[in-house]
Every structure is written in structure tokens, then in C-alpha cells.
Structure 1
């Protein structure tokens, strides 16, 4: 009977371990997303770009466009879209393998975003510390430092920078301005005329 209980416990333990590993493998690819990508997504396999009827493979950093009936991977958009501004166009996050095979469905489903005049905030302009690991981000930092911030305060950090990139809580000048007591108890500022401590 003890052997049976032990085997059952081992079986349950291995199932629990497999479930935990599967949960850990959930891909978070924030660091791979381009600066022009939309904010709010921990994971993005592809972006569908309705304005140019193309996709962008986030991991490979390549555009996927139709060329004479074939899907072609390239580092840039086709020449006919040379003036297209990736920061201004709408990006639809599409997760999964080869979403371009669903192009006919996506084209109809997301037609409302073609020539979309609204604002979709790009990662480059985000003050969310999760995006600081992306190369070229204005508030960028080494990936190890970003992990420390992510693990701080339950995965959230607060950005106290203003629009000029000044930290509102920067205390470099704390108590060192003229006319203030700098903590010098024996100094003239306390009225002791330099005679030492009271």
C-alpha cells in the first residue's frame, strides 16, 4: 500500500512540475518588440499593418509582404511603401505561427484600421519601465537593471520623470542652497559665529 501511495504522489508531483514548466515557458518578448510597436503587450509574435497589407515578424525583425502571390520576408517594407511611417500607422498584434496565411480574413477583419486617424501609443514614447530594455528606448537601460525594476514593487515601478526627462524626486540639491542651514551646527548660519557647538 505504501508503494502505491508513493507512486501516486510521484505521478501528481510530475504533473505539477510539467504544469509549472509550461507556465514558465509562456513567452514574454518585450525586449524584441520594435520602438514603433504598440504599448500594452507582453508578447507579440507578429504585427498586422493594415495600411500596407503586410505583417511584421517581431522575433525575426522582418516584414512579410505579398509579392506576385508569394509571401516574402524582408528587412524593410516593399519600395512602394517607402514613405510609410511605422509610428503613425495602426498595428494589430497577432500571435501564432504564420498569421499571414489568414491574410484574407485579417484584411476584412481589420479594415477599420486602414488609414486610421487615431493615436496608438508607440513603445518609444512609453514611460512604462517594462519597455526600457528595448534598444534605443529614450529611458533605456541594461536588461539586468530592467529586471531589477520589474521585480521591485510587485512588478511595477513608478516613473517620476517629467516631459523634459527630469526626475521629479531628484534630491541632488537637498539642503545645499545658499541661505539654508547645511547641517553645520557650529557654523555661522546658526548664529554661533564659528565658536563651535553649543
Structure 2
């Protein structure tokens, strides 16, 4: 009888340790930064992408954007931004927000980080193009139709962060 109790206890401990180990493995793999994310940030939950006025949820690997007055979560950007180059566009790291609805601060983000804001950052997935030139690929025009990204700050009061 005593041997049966020891075997049962050992089996339960074995199952419990395997379950705990599996849980740790799952948590380690969640929240991997996207290849187009800016270099230097390892624990980010959300990005705001000014050129497309959308958020990216790192943990859920989903974009969050307005569609007809409703916030939509999707694995892809809206159709009108299908050619937007995430590697070249500016990404605002929202390391001070820890909720589930970063768009609750959308009016503030939209005003502070307008379309065309900032210079592209070096992306995690920085790569060579087909011609052997180092850099990010250049699909589309970064969502800045009609913007002249030349000529300095343009008087926006964001020295060093304005259009270049």
C-alpha cells in the first residue's frame, strides 16, 4: 500500500513538473517583435504607425485600425495600405501603455505623431535588396502621398523629429 502511494505521488509530481515546464515555454515564445520593428526594443506591447494611423499589437501579432468608426483587429493592414513598407515607415514605441486598447489615446497619438512624422528607424529585419545593396526594401511611397519629405523641419516645432 505504501509503495502504491509513493508511485502515485511520483506520477503526480512528474505530470505537474511537465505542465509547469510547458507553460514557461509558451510564455517565452509570446510577444516576439516583428522583423520591421525598430532596433533596440525587446519588450514592447504596442506600436503606433503614424503614416497609416494604426496600431500593432505585438503579443497578438495584429494591426488595430479604424474602419467605419469601429476599431478592427487584423493580421494585415487595411487594403489601401497594402503596399505600405513597414520597414521604412516610422514606428512609435508605446512602452508606457499596458492595457488592451491603445486606441483609447488615438486623438493624442494622431495629433502628436502626424502622417510623415519622424525618420525611418533601422528595423530588426534590416536586409539587403536583390542588387546586394544594404537597406530596407522600398515598396510604395511609405503612405506619404503628396508629402515632399525634403527640406528640413517645415516648422512643426519637432526639431530633429520633423520631416526630413
For normalisation by structure 1, the TM-score amounts to 0.45
In the alignment, the residues of structure 2 paired with residue 59 and residue 31 of structure 1 have an alpha-carbon distance, to the nearest angstrom, of: 4
Q: Provide the residue aligned with 1:179 in structure 2.
A: none
CA contact (8 A) 1:51 1:89 kept: yes
Task: Tell me, in whole angstroms, the C-alpha distance in 2 between the residues paired with 1:30 and 1:108.
Answer: 31
Higher radius of gyration, 1 or 2: 1
Alignment match, 1:160: none
Normalized against structure 2, the TM-score is what? 0.54
Q: Which structure carries more helix by proportion?
A: 1
Measured in 1, the distance between the counterparts of 2:31 and 2:70 equals 30
Task: Indicate if the aligned counterparts of 2:63 and 2:77 stay in contact, CA closer than 8 A.
Answer: yes
| Structure 1 residue 64, shift from structure 2 partner | 0.2
Matched, 1:59 2:70: no
Alignment match of 2:109 (pick from 94, 106, 122): 106
- Judged with a 3 Å threshold, the aligned counterparts in structure 2 of structure 1 residues 28 and 42 are, in CA distance, closer, same or farther, namely farther
More strand by share: 2
Aligned residue in 2 for 1:121: 122
Q: Is the 8 A contact 1:62 1:73 kept in 2?
A: yes
Q: What do the CA deviations read for 1:105-127 (whole angstroms, capped 9, x no partner)?
A: 1101112xx3247331101139x
In the TM superposition, residue 56 of structure 1 has moved relative to its aligned partner by 0.5
Cα distance in 2, alignment partners of residues 48 and 117 from structure 1: 12
Q: Per the alignment, in what secondary structure is the counterpart of residue 48 of structure 2? A: strand
- Per chain length, whose mean CA-contact separation is higher, i.e. which structure has more relative contact order (CA < 8 Å, sep 6+)? 2
For structure 1, which runs of at least 5 residues remain unmatched after alignment? 1-26, 127-162, 164-198
Matches of 2:117 and 2:28 in 1, distance apart?
28
Residue matched to 1:77: 77
Unaligned runs of 5+ in 2: 1-26, 128-133, 135-164
Shift of 1:46: 0.6
Does the Cα contact within 8 Å between 1:29 and 1:42 map onto a contact in 2? no
Distance 1:41 1:28, change over 3 A: farther
Give the number of aligned pairs.
Answer: 99
Counterpart of 1:96 in structure 2 is 98
